[in-house]
Each structure stands twice: as structure tokens, then as C-alpha cells.
Amino acid sequence: MSNINYPDHVAVPCRASTEPLNLNNNMNSKALNLDQVVNRAEVPTLKFDGETMRRIFGTADLWPSWVADMDFQAAPEIQEALSKRLAHGVFGYEATLNELPNAVVSWFQRRYDWSFEADHIITTPRTLNSLATLISLFSSEGDGVIVQPPVFYDFKLILRAGKRRLVKNALKLEQGQYQMDFAGLESVTAKAENTLLILCNPHNPIGRVWSKEDLARLSEICVRNKVFVIADEIHSDIYFQHKYTPLASVSEAAALNTATCISPVKSFNLSGVANSMIVIKDEEKRQYCKDWYNRMQISKNNVFTNAAMLAAYTKGEAWLEQVTEYLRGNLKTLRAFLLQNTSLIKLIEPEGGFLVWLDFRELSFDAKQLESFLVIEAKMATNPGHWFGREGAGFARINIACPRSVLEAALLQLGQAYSNSLNESGNKNGA
Ligand SMILES: Cc1ncc(COP(=O)(O)O)c(C=O)c1O
């Protein structure tokens, strides 16, 4: 059991059943129970780690919603593949597994009509490593790298560490939906010192699954201005309305001007076990990147990584579909709750993913007040919007990839905090 002291009204994250997972009972993704609360604090888990939460939020007595992974168990097919590999007991050097890149190619071809060859894939330890490597290979110190905030905060950290200049082309919030600022993009890409753009597609934290038209326009501008694009597409597979479109699939010119970072870690909840990949069609750039990874000897996959990734891309689709459906249900619960109980907190409707961007601006909090409202009053460990750039001030990101009962308990706390805060400001105004 966790030593984190959860408030009574929060569903303590414990597994409903103490029975070990039976992997030989023909369990498959058809029989998922996503309502099951798994005690993630039983194993070292960043999101639930008391010490880390105390360091960041000042307390651990919170709903852990600040790390972008899911509280669901991986697909039974993946667990089974890992179990089988573990049971084998010999973990020596593994031969190159051609099935894995072939499975990745066929996944993207079949689901998203994006064609590339197995040889275009470069295996990397994680997406942040892919990004840091691509930035250092395809730009120079002092170059400007364009990002579109509010956006995943680690982009800024990587750019700062690599001594690149962060060049913002902020998204515009229009009638409740974020849009790319194409006029701004024309102007920042026209400057010779800005050599790269990092696209987040789908976009963390605002949940846009960029349309083919948006991507084609962005690509045309970047190609014309000779700005190479690093497309972070780690959040590719979970979408609620229209399908995700890979940037490199929109045209041949886009494919040749893009390095795409893909990975099963978000889609299949494998951040503790899977690798990432970079896909580069341009032969010269690909070879340059491959040479670097060879030089650094970063190419061997872990045997468990191989087993998990192969199972994900060949047998994980049914699980993914059920999880997407469940997330749709969680979103519906969240939407209804906000409308009925906390109408000044607005949902920025996500088109995909499991991260949800909430707009608290009508509560007129400053940054400190919002943090205190979320942590002290609502008992939520979430990501305050300013982490994603100044443009995110007044917003916060929550993670809805948890059992519905846990989400509901967290929403009750939010509702309580909201009522207290309105009463307090009413009292103050009345005094
Ligand atoms: C857009 C984006 N890129 C990269 C990462 C990190 O990926 P990895 O853990 O594979 O380095 C995240 C994790 O939240 C993310 O949201």
C-alpha cells in the first residue's frame, strides 16, 4: 500500500483484486476492465512518488495527475509477450528483429496511409533523446528553433541545454480552439537564423490533432523558407474525432523536410519499457543521423523492449480502441461535471490524447493563487499552465487516463474547492 496519505474522498489507488494477473486464461483485450484501480504506488512510479510530489507541490496528499502516462495496465497481449520472454530466462544478445521495424511500417501505412521503409527508422532510447539529438545534428549553437506554445515544457529545457534560442510562434485561442498563427509562422521562418521548427502533433497540452490542411500549410511555409521540421508525434494514436495525420504523409516535400519522432510509449502506456524511433526519408540526413547513433553505440534494443513493442504494434490495436473509448467516456464525465458544477472553468475540447487543458481564467487568479487553488484547495497534482510557456498562464493540464471512479473523486474535490473559492470571494465582496 502507498504511504501517501490520500484524503478520504479520493479513491485510494489500490487494486480491486489482490489476485495476481493470470496470463494463461485466454484473457485478451476483449475483456478489459479499465475501471479496475491498480495500486501504482506499490512499485516505484514517478507520478505517485511522494518525495517527488512534495518537492514539486509541497505536499503528496494529492490526486497524481501531473505525469503523461496512464494508470491502466498494458494490453494483456503485451503483458503476455513480456511474461513469455521473462520465463525463457536467458537474456543474452538478441539478433536484430526485422519483424519490429516491419510491424511499425505496416502500422503507420495501414492506419494513417503514411508510407516509409523499415530502413528509414532509427531506434533511439526515448523521444527526448531523439529531439535533443536531432536539434544538435541539424542546427548550430545560437540558432533559433521555432516552437508553438503553449507546448510541452521539455522542448524549452532541451533547447536551453543545447544553447539554441527558443523562438516562439504562439498558438492563437479563437472561439475555444487553438489555431496555428500562419502569419507569425511566415515571419519567423523567413529569418535565416531560425533553422528548425519543432511541431507537436498531436499537440501536448492543448489536445489538437492537427488537420491535414494545417499540416500542409505549415510544411509548405517551412519548405519554402528552408526550415527543417522535427515532428514530435509521440501522441499519435489516440484521437476522438478525425484521425491523426503524420506531417510526413502530407506531401513528398513534407516527407523530405521532416524528421518524425514516433514511439508506442503514450499510445500503449509503455514509457517504462519501450524505445522511441526517428523516421527520416531524406537519405543524406538519415545517414548523418544513423552515423551519429552508430558512433555513440546507441542502437541495441533491450530484449523486453523488443517483446513489448512487437506485441504493441502487432496485437495491441483492440486494447488501444477500448482505451480510446474509455477516455471518451472520461471526457464526457469531465465535460458534464464542469458544465454543471464549475461553469467558470472551461474545457478546451481535446481532439485526442489523454491530457486535457482547462481554462481557469474566469476565476481571475494570478499564477500563485491558481497553484494554491489546485494544490491546497482542490488537492490536485496537475501541471499549471505557465509550465508550458507564458501563454499558458491561467490554464492547467490534467490527465484523464485513470479509472472513472478516480476521476470522479478528483472532480468532487475540484467542485468543493470551486464552491469554497466563490463563497470566499462573495464574502470578501460583501464585506
Ligand atoms: C510531446 C512529448 N514529447 C516527448 C515526451 C517524452 O517522451 P520520452 O519519455 O519518450 O522521452 C512527452 C512526454 O510527456 C511528450 O508529451
Q: What is the DSSP string of 236-290?
A: TT-BSSSPP--GGGS-HHHHHTEEEEE-STTTTT-TTT--EEEEE-SHHHHHHHH
Domain count, the chain: 2
Q: So what's the pLDDT on residue 419?
A: 95
What's the average model confidence in pLDDT over 357-375?
A: 96
- The position carrying cell 488537420 is 211
Residue among 329, 363, 342, 339 at smallest CA distance from 413: 342
Looking at the predicted structure, is the pLDDT value of residue 11 above 50?
no
Q: At 28, is the pLDDT very low, low, confident or very high (cuts 50, 70, 90)? A: low
- Is pLDDT larger for residue 24 or for residue 416? 416
- Has residue 3 been placed in a domain? no
- Has residue 16 been placed in a domain? no
- Has residue 217 been placed in a domain? yes
- Has residue 291 been placed in a domain? yes
Residue pair 77/27 in contact by the 8 Å Cβ criterion? no
Q: What CATH number corresponds to the domain at position 130?
A: 3.40.640.10
- Separation of 334 CA from ligand 1 center, angstroms? 24
Would you state the cell numbers that stand for residue 281, as one nine-digit string? 526519408
Q: At 3, is the pLDDT very low, low, confident or very high (cuts 50, 70, 90)? A: very low
Q: So what's the pLDDT on residue 425?
A: 75
Residue 253 burial (CB count, 10 A): 14
What's the average model confidence in pLDDT over 185-212?
A: 98
Q: Are residues 126 and 199 in the same domain?
A: yes
Q: Are residues 107 and 213 in the same domain?
A: yes
Average pLDDT, the chain: 92
Q: Are residues 290 and 364 in the same domain?
A: no
- Separation of 425 CA from ligand 1 center, angstroms? 39
Q: Are residues 164 and 70 in the same domain?
A: no
Q: Where are the alpha helices (DSSP H) in 75-206?
A: 76-88, 99-112, 127-138, 154-161, 182-189
Looking at the predicted structure, is the pLDDT value of residue 199 above 50?
yes
Residue among 101, 119, 114 at smallest CA distance from 254: 114
Q: So what's the pLDDT on residue 86?
A: 98
For the CA of 67, the nearest atom of ligand 1: 14
Q: Are residues 237 and 352 in the same domain?
A: no
Residues in the chain: 431
- For residue 1, CA distances in Å to 25, 49, 63, 65, 239 come to 27, 13, 16, 19, 34
Would you state the cell numbers that stand for residue 211, as one nine-digit string? 488537420
Q: So what's the pLDDT on residue 150?
A: 98
Q: What CATH number corresponds to the domain at position 334?
A: 3.90.1150.10
Specify the pTM. 0.92
Domain boundary among 264, 288, 315: 315
Would you state the cell numbers that stand for residue 392, as one nine-digit string? 499558458
- Separation of 307 CA from ligand 1 center, angstroms? 21
pLDDT above 90 coverage of the chain, percent: 88
Looking at the predicted structure, is the pLDDT value of residue 423 above 80?
yes
Q: Are residues 298 and 325 in the same domain?
A: no
Cα(272)–Cα(268) distance, integer angstroms: 11
Q: So what's the pLDDT on residue 424?
A: 81
For the CA of 200, the nearest atom of ligand 1: 1
With residue 173 as reference, give the H or E element that holds it. Answer: strand 172-174
Cα(281)–Cα(285) distance, integer angstroms: 8
- Has residue 276 been placed in a domain? yes
Query: 285-324, pLDDT tens digit by residue?
Result: 999 999 999 999 987 778 999 999 999 999 999 999 999 9
Domain boundary among 263, 285, 315: 315
Cα(147)–Cα(389) distance, integer angstroms: 10
Query: 64-93, pLDDT tens digit by residue?
Result: 999 999 999 999 999 999 999 999 999 999
Q: Are residues 105 and 220 in the same domain?
A: yes
Q: Hey, whose CA ends up nearest to atom 13 of ligand 1?
A: 68
Residue 233 CB–ligand 1 contact under 6 Å: no
Task: Return the bridge partners of 261, or none.
Answer: 232, 278
- Has residue 13 been placed in a domain? no
Domain that holds residue 54: 29-77+317-430
Cα(259)–Cα(116) distance, integer angstroms: 12
- The position carrying cell 481535446 is 350
SS3 label, residue 194: strand
Q: Are residues 264 and 328 in the same domain?
A: no
b/e 182-209 (16+ beta carbons within 10 angstroms → b)? eebbeebbeeeebbbbbbbbbbbbbbbb
Query: 109-165, pLDDT tens digit by residue?
Result: 999 999 999 999 999 999 999 999 999 999 999 999 999 999 999 999 999 999 999
Q: Are residues 300 and 341 in the same domain?
A: no
- Has residue 10 been placed in a domain? no
Looking at the predicted structure, is the pLDDT value of residue 395 above 70?
yes
Q: Are residues 35 and 153 in the same domain?
A: no
For the CA of 128, the nearest atom of ligand 1: 11
Residue 348 CB–ligand 1 contact under 6 Å: no
Q: So what's the pLDDT on residue 121?
A: 97
Cα(335)–Cα(277) distance, integer angstroms: 35
Strands 276-280 and 121-124: antiparallel
Q: So what's the pLDDT on residue 22?
A: 37
Domain boundary among 315, 334, 361: 315
- Has residue 53 been placed in a domain? yes
- Separation of 263 CA from ligand 1 center, angstroms? 9
Q: Are residues 201 and 122 in the same domain?
A: yes
What's the average model confidence in pLDDT over 234-263?
A: 97
Q: Are residues 58 and 151 in the same domain?
A: no
Interhelix angle for 404-430 vs 317-341, to 10°? Answer: 20
Q: At 96, is the pLDDT very low, low, confident or very high (cuts 50, 70, 90)? A: confident
- For residue 271, CA distances in Å to 210, 372, 419, 430 come to 24, 30, 37, 51
Residue 133 CB–ligand 1 contact under 6 Å: no
- Is pLDDT larger for residue 51 or for residue 427? 51
Determine the residue type at 251.
Answer: S
